[in-house]
Amino acid sequence: VMSPTHLYPGCAAGYFGGWWDALASRTTDVVLGFPQLVFMIAI
């Protein structure tokens, strides 16, 4: 289930494109690139 806090910025990034879309995509890539345990340890 997507929460509105993630859904609206994602839609805005896709609509406007440009650097906002690139930043959102790279952030998502970094977060999903780490296994969950490593990410929790880093926090």
**For the packed helices 4-16 and 18-33, what is the interaxial angle rounded to 10 degrees?**
130
> In the prediction, which pLDDT does 1 show?
55
> In the prediction, which pLDDT does 28 show?
81
Q: Report if pTM > 0.85.
A: no
pLDDT for 1-43, tens place per residue? Answer: 567 777 888 888 889 888 888 988 888 888 777 777 677 787 7
CB 7 within 8 A of CB 14: no
Sole residue written with tokens 């952030």: 27
